[in-house]
Structure 1
């Protein structure tokens, strides 16, 4: 759906405070929800899977009731956090059409926090989300002052590392789960078939369709894969039978447990999420209104990010951040109205209060979801590479990137290298994100910009500058 003169004048469409006619505003709002829906609920499914919730059936149906509850909270608090952005109160909220949703960026830190014996579990994780959200909120007071320390070299590397940390999960899910589930059918053709259908349909829609279909390509692909899995007998509707029609969120659903490793990890990732929100806020104003975001808008967006995350943590949801795919949707439709996104937020809240919706999502086989996340996690990697394309690739920056990538990716691939460190240090370092960020930030700040001529020579590829 695209904007037309019947919706409003060009000046009105660039005005965040303008409300199009309801017959247009409501469908546009739901379009925003559909564009982010799969990405919003996927982190809850992955985290619950890592915690050992909901994978008892060889059919691959996701679990019940804990996973259904977290899926509900993902929808509910994505909607509430979006209202913080679009409506706002006091200094909270950018008053722009920013859609909030559950963040992929935190997954590499969250998985080791809940996976295996001796971890803090969901109680420790959600407590960390709550405290990290408060820290994120406080970042709103200084966000403008720390941007200098996070140029594209640093942020691009971090986003790339997030994607690299997730791609293994995508392959495992597409093959039928994770090997520790003990399923005999792991990696069989019957498991891979629906996942491959998802990938094929997603690519076909993305490249050959136009408008909203291209934006919702992953969602359409998952629907196609779901129908194939249903025909193959891989879908169980048991969660639907047991789910009610309405539920009230309960505070600290899994309890309250403080864990230093999780808290530090959540606070560190809050910085990354805050910088992402700055970029998305700027993208909204540039794409929709042709102007730069104001300091007040950036600060308000960061406050809303943090408050939404803190509230989600209290009631069993995962960290929230602004969704970049919806930034592109604003540019595509040409409708800058924040009230359009408000309608979408209300739809998300309604879905989050109805367990039947979460239970239906719970019927999606894990291999079908795997096909979708292979595409989504690959796009995270591609986004990081795109950000790195803005880097001035001289030898100084090459060395910074090389050292940070080698250490962080190496620790991610071989976590046992740090087995003698305290558990807190292991969780923080083996995700790869913290060492990548620390090395890149420190070297970028310490190494002088103006080095010797040899050190700043442009690198054209390969072993540039080296003779045989």
Structure 2
């Protein structure tokens, strides 16, 4: 958009400025389109891992619709915490909140095959983890030293690697179809492939809204093809209510050590990610550094939004990085634009039919979309790792953390003799990798022998600090 049609450069950089509604509303909806698919996908993945049926005749199917509905509602509410603020809660910046992918590798082992009864433990962990996340706001700035790019890049990469298997399973027909003739069929892969191709085409050859909404439009294209192939059923849409309010303690609350510890540890990583997003917004949109009050307020809002979500049956919330890029691209820093998007999300969350329509998307179509999204998570982690100075010390830390974290995730039977709680946390892959990297980075001295601190260059050369091999 042309800056002159919206306001002066100074106005656009002011979070309190509101463009005319004829422009503010489309800009707000654009923010929703950029995050919509990523926001509702975790609910579908968690429900699928728990064993909820995807057909309208399944007794658990309404529970999945409810969780999708709450993902939209509480993403909107948490976004309002950030844009409007409540006392010290909220950065009062254009920060879009949404359901976090980072927690999925923790949630899947906690609910795997256990049905709706396992969701209560999940909600207990989300509540306590959210409160812990908010508590981190008191001193988050002083904890950043423990999470340099070596650690955060590894964690983000591990999150993506833990999820790519889910994307492949969905594209092939979903977990329930494993072992059947339909699993991995040409029809399934054709639909998933169309989603990927349309997404890539729009991302690289389109501009503006078409490029920003590439994943969403790719899913729409795959959905149309799936409908023409007879893979879509609208039976659930007619059964869904036209309006429904959030239901407190919908799944109950069950406090287990594994869930609480897992969510608290991941909240630490999520809090630092939010600090990065706030800094990205102020630099990209206003050309300045984030203030301590903004960083603290954003962390409080992150945690409070997550804790409230757990009370009503929704998943953890965090700031969405894709919307940070959108602000840099449009140059519009107005928090009130994002408030309009938040209100749109809340409205969608109050209409169960919206969740029912989303649930009609075939698992193969969703698979094509998440293959792209999860691959981008891995790519984001690798991008963060490019800022690391690859000397022998850092390479050893990375190698040990990655080998143990990814290895335990790939071979969970190796820890079969551990108590169930520790086994669930260790085989997630994310937590052991993060803890090992943090401990080794703090314990191993920076000043080592010359051969240990010498930069490793040659081989796969790129940036001076991003090269990998040396004999």
TM-score range, shorter chain: over 0.9
CA-based RMSD of the aligned residues comes to 1.7
Structure 2 match to 1:19: 18
CA shift, 1:50, in A, is: 0.5
Note if contact 2:54-2:61 (Cα within 8 Å) is conserved in structure 1: no
Q: Distance in 1 between matches of 2:32 and 2:263?
A: 26
Q: Distance in 2 between matches of 1:300 and 1:234?
A: 46
Structure 2 match to 1:199: 196
161, 169, 174: which one aligns with 1:172: 169
CA shift, 1:54, in A, is: 2.3
CA shift, 1:64, in A, is: 2.5
Structure 2 match to 1:48: 47
211, 214, 219: which one aligns with 1:214: 211
Residues 18-39 of structure 1 show CA distances to partners (whole Å, capped at 9, x for unaligned) of: 0111111111000100110000
Within 5 Å, give how 1:242-391 maps onto structure 2.
242-391=239-388
**Match status 1:111 vs 2:108:** yes
Q: TM-score, normalised by structure 1?
A: 0.96
Task: Describe the shift of the 1:461–1:51 C-alpha distance in structure 2 as closer, same or farther (beyond 3 A).
Answer: farther
CA shift, 1:426, in A, is: 0.7
Q: Distance in 1 between matches of 2:469 and 2:13?
A: 47
Q: How many residues are treated as equivalent by the alignment?
A: 463
CA shift, 1:63, in A, is: 6.8
Q: Distance in 2 between matches of 1:165 and 1:311?
A: 27
Q: Distance in 2 between matches of 1:182 and 1:432?
A: 26
Residues 255-280 of structure 1 show CA distances to partners (whole Å, capped at 9, x for unaligned) of: 12111101100001101110110000
CA shift, 1:85, in A, is: 0.1
Structure 2 match to 1:454: 451
Note if contact 2:155-2:430 (Cα within 8 Å) is conserved in structure 1: yes
Task: Describe the shift of the 1:336–1:464 C-alpha distance in structure 2 as closer, same or farther (beyond 3 A).
Answer: closer
CA shift, 1:184, in A, is: 3.6
Residues 375-426 of structure 1 show CA distances to partners (whole Å, capped at 9, x for unaligned) of: 0000000000000000011111001000100010100100000010001101
Note if contact 2:82-2:90 (Cα within 8 Å) is conserved in structure 1: yes
Structure 2 match to 1:438: 435
Q: TM-score, normalised by structure 2?
A: 0.96
Q: Distance in 2 between matches of 1:57 and 1:134?
A: 35
Q: Distance in 2 between matches of 1:138 and 1:80?
A: 20
Q: Distance in 1 between matches of 2:119 and 2:179?
A: 23
Residues 41-92 of structure 1 show CA distances to partners (whole Å, capped at 9, x for unaligned) of: 000000000011123589xx99731110000000000000000000001110
Note if contact 1:126-1:316 (Cα within 8 Å) is conserved in structure 2: yes
78, 86, 89: which one aligns with 2:86: 89
Note if contact 2:32-2:345 (Cα within 8 Å) is conserved in structure 1: yes
Q: Distance in 1 between matches of 2:56 and 2:174?
A: 11
SS of corresponding position for 1:454: helix
Q: Which runs of 5+ in 1 are unaligned?
A: none
Note if contact 2:167-2:370 (Cα within 8 Å) is conserved in structure 1: yes
Q: Which moved more, 1:129-138 or 1:183-192?
A: 183-192
Structure 1 match to 2:463: none
